Chain A
Amino acid sequence: MSESFEKHAVLVVETSEEYLCSSAETLLEGMVRLGRKCIPIGCVNGGCGVCKVAIVKGHVRKCGPMSRVHVSEEEESQGFLLACRAMPMSKVELKIIGKMKKIIW
């Protein structure tokens, strides 16, 4: 990761956990790379929906398609998105919407 990119603080409101994420990687990738787990980690590719968050403060840049099963256009316009599909452009505060369901076994 190039140092020329800015790093921004990402705060998870529910747990007050905070980490630094480069503006060149997604909110989820930045967290995963640090070995942190404050946002649920799934496919990291926009398809499974477990990393759904609501941005409550700050700006992000969206990147790549998000499954419309998990984030509708209306929800997206209200600030819901998948953390694996948004890069921080400023300090970001977010709430966790998605969750790991204890489902298969």
Chain B
Amino acid sequence: MGVMRIGHISIKVMDMAEALKHYENVIGMKVTHTDADGNVYLKCWDEWDKYSVILTPSNQAGFNHVAYKVTDDFALVRLTQKVRDYGIQVEELPAGSLPDCGRMVKFNMPSGHEMRLFAEKDILGTDVGCTNPDPWPDDIRGAGAHWLDHCLLVCEMDPERGVNTLVDNKHFFIKALNFFETEQVVVGPNGSIQIASFLSHSSKPHDIAFVVGPTSGLHHLSFFLDSWHDILKAADVMAKNRTRIDVSPTRHGITRGETIYFFDPSGNRNETFAGLGYQAQRDKPLITWTEDQIGRAIFYHTGVLVESFTTVYT
């Protein structure tokens, strides 16, 4: 009873036609709805809810909001109260405030990122159905991402003012939303400054992650693939489509994920990510990565940081 998974993410794009080419032909999503304001809603073939990505036309790139789906309305009521009890103001949005989505509650994380919770969304079903399903559909395009898996948000930190909204977010997610932390990255004297947090509400190593930065923003949204071979094929798809790759196929130390990082045509970073890594459990001891091994934590093979990866976001 509670949060199930990332339900959708809403992001800004500067050229909708180019964005759709990317999310349809490279990621492999399908458009399921376009509203009167020109916002476009998409889903992956293995997702059953009507949409997991909302693209909104804008003159800039970046994050609008992220929404997590909860088990039922009872959980929504209970979590709304827990968010309020934590001291965070909540706005209640009626059903239909987003197309084909039930009522939502809207609030800001301590980092300022807008977050929503909802319990109901129209179900279209996966592209293989649920009666004697084949393992994959015949019309897979591009990387053929299975689902939107998680997002990584950049949280404002200013040590001189004693501000670290990553830590504030972590506490909020654990205390109010009942997430648990799987991995952390710490730096500074005795590892006293936390600069990354990976949080789960399932058996996956992360359902959301936070890193610190000078301003809050979006580091990436991540799509799940099945295998290392799917990662290789996804990189081929990106090369064929001249997608700007930030980090070519490799493995993270953190989460053990097999990964590619790349940019959509507006500069929002995407990830295709394979391998569930390990089974995350609430009683599994927290994994800690230390300052001297940060390179290895992020890019396990080389142990070398990639400047754009650690400095660029929207």
Residues of A within 8 A of B244 (CB): 43-45
Q: Are A67 and B214 in contact (CB under 8 A)?
A: no
Residues of A within 8 A of B265 (CB): 45, 64
Determine whether A1 belongs to the interface, using a CB cutoff of 8 Å to chain B.
no
Interface majority SS (helix, strand, loop, mixed), chain B = mixed
Residues of A within 8 A of B214 (CB): 101, 103
Shortest Cβ distance from B212 into chain A, in angstroms? 7
Counting chain B residues whose Cβ lies within 8 A of the other chain, the interface size class is: 35 or more
Residues of A within 8 A of B154 (CB): 103-104
Q: Are A47 and B195 in contact (CB under 8 A)?
A: no
CA of A6 to CA of B260, assembled, Å: 34
Question: Could you mark each residue 79-105 of chain A with 1 if its beta carbon is under 8 Å from any beta carbon of chain B, else 0?
Answer: 000000000000000000000111111
- A sample of 22 inter-chain contacts (CB < 8 A) reads A42-B267, A43-B267, A44-B267, A45-B263, A46-B61, A47-B62, A47-B266, A47-B267, A48-B61, A48-B312, A65-B15, A65-B266, A67-B62, A67-B266, A67-B314, A70-B60, A100-B311, A101-B214, A103-B214, A104-B195, A104-B313, A105-B310
Contact A103-B213, Cβ < 8 Å, known A43-B263, A47-B266: yes
Q: Are A45 and B310 in contact (CB under 8 A)?
A: no
Determine whether A69 belongs to the interface, using a CB cutoff of 8 Å to chain B.
yes
Question: Closest residue to B312 on the A side, CB-wise?
Answer: A42
> B-contacting residues of A (Cβ < 8 Å)?
41-48, 50, 64-70, 100-105
Question: Which of A45, A65, A67, A100 lies in contact with B264, CB distance below 8 A?
Answer: A45
CA of A70 to CA of B311, assembled, Å: 15
Q: Are B196 and A105 in contact (CB under 8 A)?
A: yes
Question: Which of B59, B211, B212, B269 lies in contact with A43, CB distance below 8 A?
Answer: B269
Nearest 6 A/B pairs, CB to CB: A47-B267, A43-B267, A47-B61, A65-B14, A42-B312, A45-B267
Question: Closest residue to B213 on the A side, CB-wise?
Answer: A103
Question: Closest residue to A51 on the B side, CB-wise?
Answer: B312
Residues of B within 8 A of A104 (CB): 154, 195, 211-213, 219, 310-311, 313
Q: Are A68 and B310 in contact (CB under 8 A)?
A: no
Question: Which of B14, B18, B211, B263 lies in contact with A67, CB distance below 8 A?
Answer: B14
CA of A41 to CA of B312, assembled, Å: 9
CA of A97 to CA of B175, assembled, Å: 43
CA of A66 to CA of B14, assembled, Å: 8
Extra contacts, 5 of them, besides A43-B246, A103-B212 (Cβ < 8 A), are A41-B307, A42-B312, A67-B59, A104-B310, A105-B196
Question: Closest residue to A68 on the B side, CB-wise?
Answer: B59
